[in-house]
Structure 1
C-alpha cells in the first residue's frame, strides 16, 4: 500500500522560495501527468524522506492535497551532494490499476563458487507493472555459481503481473574467473606497453616515488616563502 503524505499547495516559486521551504524542513515538489497542469506542492521533510526510503527507487505515495487523494509515482529526486538532504521531487500522477513503465534495480545475492568474480552487467531492468504493485527490486541468486555462468534478462524471475521490457538477451550478471595478482600485473604491464610507457631500470613506480618525496618533505620541513603565512 502506498504511504500517505499530507501535501500543501505551493504558490511561491523561485530559488528564494525553495530555500525558505527547505529551511522549514519541507520539500518542494511537482506532480505531472494525465494531461493536467503541473501541481506544485510542499511536502513534510521527514515523513517524505522516510516514505521514499521505504518505497525504493519507484516509491508510490498517496498525496492528500486539500482533502483530495492523488497517487504519485516518484520519477526524479534531487539530493544535495554535500548535506545529503532532499532538495526537490518530481512525481507522475497515476491511477489504481494503471500500468506504468519503470526501471527496477537488480539485487545480486548469494556466494558464487570459489575463485570467481561476479560482475553485474546491468544494475536495472525495465519492466511494465501496475502502479500499485511495482517490485522494489528483482533478486538474482548466484549461490554456488561456477565460472562461465551467465544470467540474462530472460532468466529473471519476475513477480506476477510484471512484464519484462528489457531485451531478453541482455546480459545481467556474468560470473568469470577471479584474477590473480600475477594476472593483474601482467595486464598492467601490457596496458603500459600499449601506451608506450617504458620504465627505466631501478625506476620506482610513480606512487612510491611520490610517497617517498612527501616523506622527505615532511621530515626536512621547507620554510614558507616570503609573504606566506601558516593557516
Structure 2
C-alpha cells in the first residue's frame, strides 16, 4: 500500500539550504534507481513522518512532484540523534507489479513457558515481494513454546505473495532454560573474580 505525498523540486543544495528546508518543516530527499538520474526533492515534514510511521521500514511513497508521478521505496531515513526529527530520506524507484527484495522486521507475539528464556537471533527477514504489497512485519506467535524449541527461517509463515530470501536454515529464535537465582549469583561471583574484585569478609563483632 502506497502513501500519497506532494513534493517540490529541490534547487538549492548545501548545509545552509538543508537547514532552511528543515526549519520550514520540510525534508530533503532523493529518489534514484532504474538507470535514471537522481531526483532531488523536498517532502512535507508532517505528512512524510506519518507516511513513514504508517508504512514501516519499507514504506512506498506515491509522490506527485509538481505534476510528475513517482513511486519510491524508502531505503534510508536519517534521524537527528538529539531532536529526533527526520533529516533526509533516500528512496529507490520502483514500478507497480515489480518484485523487490526487502528486509522485513520480525514481530514476536505470545508468551513462552514460565521457566523459559526466549532469544531472538534475527531481528529482520529478507523476502521478495510485490512492491505494492510489502509486508510491514513477519509475525511469529510463540505462545506456549517450551524449553528447547527452535524456529528457523524456513518455519516462518510468510504473507501470500512473499518469497523467503534468507537462508532457510538460519536460526530466528530459540527457547532455553531461564537461569535460576543461584545461577545468576554464581555468574556474578565468577565475573567479580575475573575482574579482581574481592568482597570484604564479615567480621565477628559479637562480644564474648
- Normalised to the residue count of structure 2, the TM-score between the two structures is 0.94
Deviations 1:184-216 (A, max 9, x none): 1112222344x352415339xxxxxxxxxxxxx
1:1-231 to structure 2, matched below 5 A, reads 1-193=1-193, 195=194, 197-202=196-201
Which has the larger displacement, 14-23 or 183-192?
Answer: 183-192
The structure that is strand-richer by fraction is: 2
Q: Taking structure 1 as reference, are residues 163 and 63 closer, same or farther at Cα in structure 2, changes over 3 Å only?
A: same
Give CA-to-partner distance per residue, 1:72-106, whole Å, 9 cap, x none.
00000000111110000000000001111110000
Find the residue that maps to 1:22 and give its secondary structure.
helix
* In structure 2, C-alpha distance between the alignment counterparts of 1:100 and 1:11, rounded to whole Å: 30
Distance 1:113 1:98, change over 3 A: same
Q: Which runs of 4+ in 1 moved over 6 A?
A: none
Unpaired segments of 5 or more residues in structure 2? Answer: 203-208
The unaligned stretches of length 5 or more in structure 1 are: 204-231
Distance 2:81 2:192 in 1: 35
Give per-residue Cα distances to partners, 1:141-195, cap 9 Å, x unaligned: 11011111111101000011111111101111111111122111112222344x3
Shift of 1:130: 0.9
8 Å CA contact 2:192, 2:198 repeated in 1: no
Question: Judging changes above 3 Å, is the alpha-carbon distance between structure 1 residues 196 and 26 closer, same or farther for their aligned structure 2 residues?
Answer: closer
> What CA RMSD, in Å, does the superposition of the two structures yield over aligned residues?
1.2
Matched length: 202
Structure with higher helix content: 1
CA distance in 1, matches of 2:197, 2:16: 56
SS in 2 for 1:133: coil
Shift in Å, 1:115: 1.3
User: What TM-score does the superposition give when structure 1 sets the normalisation length?
Assistant: 0.85
SS class of match (1:132):
coil
What secondary structure, in the 3-state scheme, does the structure 2 residue paired with 1:185 have?
helix
